[in-house]
Structures are given as C-alpha cells and as structure tokens.
Amino acid sequence: MSEALEITGLRLGYGDLTAVWDVSFTVRTGRICALVGRNGAGKTTLLSGLAGLLPAKAGTVRLHGEDITGRPTHARVKAGLTLVQEGRRIFRSLTVQENLRLGAFAHDARGDELRSLFDEVYERFPALAERRDHASGALSGGQQQMLAIAQALVSRPRVLLIDEPSAGLAPVIVDEVHQAIRRLRDEGLTIVLVEQLIEDVLGGVADDVVMLDGGKVVLDAPADTLSVEDVSSRMELTARA
C-alpha cells in the first residue's frame, strides 16, 4: 500500500515557542489515521502545519512522494491536501451553494465542471441539496459540519485533514458525521482525523492511530491492535508526567 503522506522530523511553532517536536509518521493511501492526545498535545498545530497555515521550522512533508514543505496553503490545496478546520468554519451569511463555490476556487472550476462538483456533493449529502439556496447559518450543527466537509471536497483532495468534527454535536449527529467520513474512506480518500472520542476512534472510525503528547509522537499503531483502555491509560499517564 502506498504512502499518501510522509511526515519526517516536522517541527512547528508560534514565534519562539515550539509546539510540535520532530514528528515523524506516515499515512497510507485510502486509510483513516486518527490523531489523538489530551488537550494541548499539538494535534491542531500539526494539522495547521500539514495544511501550510504554519511554516515548518524543520522537517519535511511529502504528499504522494512530492515534497510540499515550502508550499503555501493554496498550493497545497491545488496539489490535493485540504483542511477542514475545527468549529465548522463556513460563511454563515452565504448560501450552501455559495459556500461550495468558494471551495472550488482553488481549481477555478466553472461551467459543466462546477455543476458536476456540486452534483457529486449533493448526491453524497442530500440534506445539503434540499437547502442549497438557504443561508448556511440557518443549518443545524450537523448540517454545518457536513457543509464544511463538502466545501473541502469540491477542491478534489487526495488527502483530507479534519479537525474535531464531533465538537459540540449530539451523539446521534456525531455518528452520522463519522459514517460520512468512513464512506469517504471507502471511496478511496485518505483522511487524517483529529478526534477526542477514543471509543469512536477505536470502534470502527480509524484504521491507524497516532498519539501526540507534548508535541511528540508517543504511539503509532493500527487501530485494531489497540483497546480503549490502553489508549486512555496512556493518555492519563502522559497527563501525570
């Protein structure tokens, strides 16, 4: 199985503060890799660095073998690496379809190509199709999360980064979001997912798990070799250290 993302010795931070220290791991094509760890472990910082929102202090990021370490965010999107940020960062005053149009901006899709992108997304998320002309701020929390993912999908990513998609959602809606993410994986998309719900991560959402603590990788293993108790106890131990 090929490697979609190769992260080697990646160091990230804010000014003089280093938050991610020499992180190295790989994400295989067509799998969901879950990043877990307690609050402040460096998960969101790592996703920001992979997406190009933070410049690397050291190390490399390769997308399907191509070094993208020095590329800005828009160039990474065009290369096939897209981030869905935490907090459902959509434009709430715009309609669903206007949000999707912004997602396609990186590829300058127009005409038949743009309509095809919309059709694909609406087929995948029927609730959005029914509300395509509605203001996005009027959608439910779960629908807004689906729209945030859909907006990323119209950029045609090869690797999708998703930060805390379950945050602030009711359990039944979280399950719907996770099912949608698994379907994307089943269709061949590679996904890096930051998620705090360890039971869900190990209950069928993730294929692989990378745990961060203090900005360093402390666990990297297939999900089916881990238990909730094992991962939770490791997180508790790192919190006490």
Report pLDDT for 107: 65
Residue segments in the chain with a per-residue pLDDT below the cut of 50: none
In degrees rounded to 5, what are phi and psi of residue 19? -110, -25
Helix, strand, coil tally for the chain in percent (to 5): 40, 25, 30
Report pLDDT for 238: 66
pTM as predicted: 0.93
* 130-150 tens-digit pLDDT: 999 999 999 999 999 999 999
Q: What is the dihedral of CA 65, 153, 155, 20, to 10 degrees?
A: -50
Three-state secondary-structure class, residue 139: coil
What is the third-level CATH fold of 1-80+195-241? Answer: Rossmann fold (3.40.50)
Give me the residue spans of the domains in the chain.
Answer: 1-80+195-241
